[in-house]
Amino acid sequence: MTSDLSDLTLFIIGTVTLVWLSRKSLRRPGRHGFYRFFAWEMILGLVLLNRGPWGENPASLHQSVSWGLMLLSILLVVLGHNALRRQGAASEARDDDALYAFEKTTALVTGGIFQYIRHPMYTSLLALAWGAYFQAPSWPGTALAALASLLLLLTAKADENECLAYFGQPYADYMQRTRRFIPYLF
């Protein structure tokens, strides 16, 4: 009972935090931040669902896969954020209140990790979701991870539409050269 209450408390605190972080995006259905909020919620659910057995059997195959995915998640977010910071020329001149400051890029970023995939940050969230899932695979976890994946696909597609509107043909050309999430595949 105490575990259920603490899980509920953590879920409420996490949700309130995510709502606050996404408050501007939630007013803009169809934008990438709108879908990203719900993906974050699914990931929060996965982490809480599997927090009990987290790391219980570290030598098992599913735990090894989990830790590999979570390390990949960290690597991708670091590489993606660094490339955006260095090459994106983020500026408040890009007047879009639904974007975080680091997302307000005014230069198309095509170097670093972005030369292989268009969405390293969303790929990082995919790896995090499936990494949390593999801590303790279950049917409810499968549903949450699949829903998180679908929401991240919708996030990426919305982001691509926003980038096409802002960057135009150079972004369309970039889309032809790169994959969405997995280099050379998807």
Q: Is residue 185 part of a domain?
A: no
Q: Are 37 and 164 in contact (CB under 8 A)?
A: no
**Is a pLDDT exceeding 60 seen at residue 77?**
yes
Q: What is the mean pLDDT of the chain?
A: 93
The reported pLDDT for the residue numbered 94 is: 85
Nearby residues of 74 by Cβ (< 8 Å), 6 or more positions away? 124
Q: Is residue 146 part of a domain?
A: yes
pLDDT band at 58 (very low <50, low <70, confident <90, very high): confident
**Which CA distances in Å does 183 have to 44, 110, 116?**
27, 13, 5
**Is a pLDDT exceeding 60 seen at residue 39?**
yes
Q: Are 170 and 108 in contact (CB under 8 A)?
A: yes
DSSP 95: -
pLDDT band at 97 (very low <50, low <70, confident <90, very high): confident
pTM: 0.93
Cα atoms found within 13 Å of the Cα of residue 124, Cβ hemisphere only: 17
Domain tally for the chain? 1
pLDDT band at 92 (very low <50, low <70, confident <90, very high): confident
Question: Domain containing 97: what range?
Answer: 2-177
Distance of alpha carbon 142 from the chain centroid? 17
**Is a pLDDT exceeding 60 seen at residue 1?**
no
The reported pLDDT for the residue numbered 5 is: 81
Q: Is residue 117 part of a domain?
A: yes
pLDDT band at 2 (very low <50, low <70, confident <90, very high): low
The reported pLDDT for the residue numbered 156 is: 98
Q: Is residue 184 part of a domain?
A: no
Q: Is residue 116 part of a domain?
A: yes
End-to-end CA distance of the chain: 43
The reported pLDDT for the residue numbered 32 is: 96
Higher-pLDDT residue of 40, 56: 40
The reported pLDDT for the residue numbered 52 is: 81
**Is a pLDDT exceeding 60 seen at residue 4?**
yes
**Which CA distances in Å does 141 have to 52, 68, 97, 134, 157?**
13, 18, 34, 9, 24
Q: Is residue 186 part of a domain?
A: no
